[in-house]
Amino acid sequence: MLRRVRLLRQVRLNSNVPGRPNESGDLEKIPKHSNVSSSGSIPPIKTSISNMLAKKKVEYNPEDNKEGVTYEFHAPQSPLEVRSEQIRKSHQASKWRKMLPSLAVGGALIWGFYAYNYFTADKKEAIPDLLLPDRFLPYLVSFKYQVDQDHYLIELTRKNRGSILAPHQQLFDGKRIWSVEIKQPEINIVRNYTPLPLYVAGIDPDTQEPHLRLVTKPEEEGKFVLLVKRYDSGEFSRWLTSRKLLDEVELRGPVVEYKVPYHPLDKFPARPQLQPLLSKIQPDPEYPENIPKPETWAFYAAGTGVLPLLQMLYSPNPPKGFINAYVSLRKESNLPSQLKTLNYFAEKCGRAKFTYLISDNGDRLEAKHVSRPQLPNFSGLMDVKISEEVYRQKLLAQKRQEVKNQIQGARIEERPLQEEDVIPKLDIRLQPQNAFQQFSFFRKQPPQVYPSFAFICGPEGFISYVSGRPNLNNLEQKDTGDLSGLLKDKGWTLSNIKRLI
């Protein structure tokens, strides 16, 4: 059809005929083989073309095309249509390709989040330690409770504790007394406070009093409790007790103030830790008799000065000996009731004896509360040899007595059978289920033993009254203050006391 239209258009332009041949008869008048000059005559038409044009015209009906064959030429697609068709085919090819844009956007967001945290995070948070002795680390005030008018119970938690907690880190150990240094950034000073291995497990909805629990597992490390007394004239105590929940404070430590000397019993299993229930405290292990006995201590404290003693008693691996504690308080409310309950458990297990001296009731530490010192059970290798020799002599004496009894009962007179001869007595040895049963029913109460070492902790006036004023003004930070007060009158010396400031 296009060829025919083009030919007819040429005929109209190159001829002087004003009209257009619309009938087949007009086409037949054109000569098939005529010589046309180059001046504008019509070129000759081939026979095949004229035959094709002479055929009868039939109107095309699409319904007659049963085979679905078409002879029409469609227009080419535009670039936009070609691109759309390519995208459609690519989406139909694979489902994963549909998710690629979403995955790319999600990955970019995650990378951006971690990159932001990496470049903007505080460098202190990269430290995996709970405490460092030479660097301040951030802690958060996770709980605060006012015990009475002057005392506050504050729980501190290591910042980002969940992400840095390591199972091998253990802050509390009954073999040492330690404290932490807290920095006041406004005036750039530090103060030492003794933490307790406790954390807040819940709150009483009526009284808002915390339910304290002992730190007994590695995953519970990174939290501890401070008992702080607020002084009206103390800038630091007023700043610390005014901290609100989730306020950040910086701590450094641990600062070891006293380490328990070595004892041969350290090679044997440790004494079990206290528990919130008396029936849950495991019994003490049995120690051999040929080893020197554990030491007995005396502890004279006033106010919050009792915290170093409580730290040792509440920590894992508590002291194996016995402690006589004399605690001077202005009011009974100065010490939280839950701490008194734990002290009562320690008494019932034979680990300590607490004597509370309340100033409002007229009680005061006097000379009758201070006993004379005795020599320590272990001071070197010679004491181990002495203990072994004493134990050997004890076994020899028992053996001599057994032999003597056998000689005296060699001749046994004939007698009728008795009931005990037919049914022998059974040797039933009951084992204690907890430390309370062990101390109350299975272990004989030891005689009164004088202490071999004494601790003094409290305000400066109390320490001077009991043992004299300490002096740490030397390079070794060793206490060289003169001994005086109640302890000097009883025969104590600087070698068997420790003044905790």
Name the token pair of 84: 């759309």
Which run of H or E residues covers position 434?
none
Name the token pair of 73: 């030429």
Name the token pair of 181: 């240094």
Other C-beta atoms lying within 10 Å of the C-beta of residue 38: 5
Which of 472, 492, 490, 493 has the alpha carbon at shortest distance from 481? 472
- Is residue 119 classed as helix, strand or coil in its secondary structure? helix
DSSP 463-478: HHHHH------STT--
B/e letters for 427-446, b = 16+ CB within 10 Å, e = fewer, are eeeeebebbbbbbeeeeeee
Nearby residues of 431 by Cβ (< 8 Å), 6 or more positions away: none
**What are the binding residues for FAD?**
227, 229, 237
**What are the binding residues?**
227, 229, 237
Which of 289, 294, 295, 293 has the alpha carbon at shortest distance from 388? 289
The CA distance from 149 to 96, in Å, is: 68
Nearby residues of 181 by Cβ (< 8 Å), 6 or more positions away: 136, 190, 191, 192, 251, 252, 253, 255
User: What DSSP designation does 286 have?
Assistant: P
| 343: phi then psi, degrees, rounded to nearest 5 | -65, -35
| 167: phi then psi, degrees, rounded to nearest 5 | -70, -20
